[in-house]
Amino acid sequence: MKIITRNYITNILSRDNRPCDRIKAGETVAFETYDCFTNQFLPEDATFENVVRKPGNPATGPLYIEDAMPGDMLKIDILDIEMGPAGIVMLGPDSGSEKEEFPKKVLKRVPVKGGFAFYNEKVPIPVKPMIGVIGVAPAGEGVSTITPMDHGGNMDCTQIKKGATLYLPVFVEGALLSMGDFHAVMGDGEVEDCGLEIEGRATIRVNVVRNKNCVPYPMIETEDKLITIASREHVEEAWRAAARQMYDFMKGKIGMDYEDAGMLLTMTGDLVICQTVNPMKTVRMELPRHITQSYGFNSISVE
């Protein structure tokens, strides 16, 4: 198994980035990552006064996937997410729903051990590790790793976790996959700037999908959910796009008529805000997989 070390990081997802390595479809690979602060705040003496943050979220990569071509999708099975021994959570005046309440930057180092993040002696929090930034190179100009769009990027979606399968559209030859910005735990919405930011290592298996189910936006399959993801400038635009993507997928790919698709979506679909702090806001639409399986649709990767 190849290991992509964090010696190779980028702050921009771009077709101009030189691949750090390459794999064949079906191979398993591990990505080692910094936290979103490039681990600068892990030392006890690090403060906002003596550390200069680097631009963007450091994403490890990019990785070239052989035979991945524009119009395909990457099928990324997330096999494992390992975390470092401590994470960082912060507040500040620049972002978050209550930024006016926090006139200065503050941060807290939180130990992570035995499946819990120990915020303090009163509050142990069960960890739910996830990948905040994961994306391919977009078709046009490069995009900052702070910004999510249809190529993926900084989606901060809690469902991009161990056991899930993420599908990303391919826009350039080789796809050029990068990832970083892991969280030990994060609430849906990420309302106050960040989750518990942590370094880590993700083990994934990457395949290439080229069939009639391919779409030009990210999707996820979990054990019990089919999920569409949309990122737009405003939350309302994002939820409308995520819902429309799912509705169109139900009609065009699963084969439901428009009335069934609409009624089943409104009865069983869940709209969830992934994050509200990035330049583009991200919302996901979740549909129970038993609904899609009732129509004979088992997986995006199967025709």
- The CATH number assigned to the domain holding 261 equals 3.10.28.20
Is residue 61 in a domain?
yes
User: What pLDDT shows up at residue 47?
Assistant: 81
The amino acid that residue 194 corresponds to is: C
Whether residues 107 and 245 share a domain: the answer is: no
- What is the per-residue pLDDT for 43? 92
Burial of 212 (0-12, 13-18, 19+ CB in 10 A): exposed
Distance CA 62, CA 5 (A): 11
If asked whether residues 205 and 223 sit together in one domain, one would say no
Structural domain total, the chain = 2
202 within 8 A of 179, measured Cβ to Cβ: yes
Whether residues 23 and 170 fall in one domain: yes
Cα–Cα distance, 92 to 100 (Å, whole number): 9
What's the CATH code of the domain at 176? Answer: 2.60.120.580
Tell me: do 55 and 185 sit in the same domain.
yes
Residues 201 and 246 both lie in one domain:
no
Same-domain status, 144 and 25: yes
Helix (H, G, I), strand (E, B) or coil at 99: helix
Whether residue 168 is found in the same domain as residue 257: no
**In a domain? residue 39:** yes
pLDDT at residue number 93: 77
Q: Among 186, 209, 232, identify where a domain stops.
A: 209
* Mean pLDDT of the region 204-230: 98
In this structure, the answer to whether residues 272 and 186 fall within a common structural domain is: no
Taking CB atoms within 8 Å and a gap of at least 24, the contacts of 99-108 are 99/193, 105/48, 107/41, 107/47, 107/48
In this structure, is residue 299 part of a structural domain? no
Whether residue 180 is found in the same domain as residue 279: no
Which residue from 283, 291, 230 is spatially nearest to 266, judged by alpha carbons? Answer: 291
Whether 197 and 141 map to the same domain: the answer is: yes
202 and 232: one domain?
no
Q: pLDDT tens digits, residue range 31-83? A: 999 999 999 999 988 887 777 777 789 999 999 999 999 999 999 999 999 99
Residue-number span of the structural domain to which 131 is assigned = 2-209
Tell me the C-alpha distance between 154 and 283, whole Å: 12
- Do the Cβ atoms of 157 and 273 come closer than 8 Å? no
Q: Give the CA dihedral 226, 230, 235, 241, nearest 10 degrees.
A: -90
Share of the chain above pLDDT 90, in %: 88
Q: 227 and 83 in one domain? A: no
Instruction: Name beta bridge partners: 152.
Output: 135, 149
Q: Mean pLDDT over residues 130-137, rounded? A: 98
Residue 223 is which amino acid?
A: E
User: Rg (Cα) of the chain, in Å, rounded?
Assistant: 19
Per residue in 282-291, pLDDT (tens digit) is 999 999 999 9
CA distance 11 to 158: 21
Q: With 70 as the cut, is the pLDDT of residue 98 above it? A: no
At 277 the three-state DSSP class reads coil
Mean pLDDT over the full length of the chain: 95
User: Quick one: average pLDDT of 273-288?
Assistant: 97
DSSP helix/strand/coil, 252: helix
- Reply yes or no on whether the pLDDT at 92 is more than 80: no
Q: Which residues 6+ apart lie within 8 Å of 131 measured at CB? A: 78, 81, 160, 161, 179, 180, 181, 182, 202
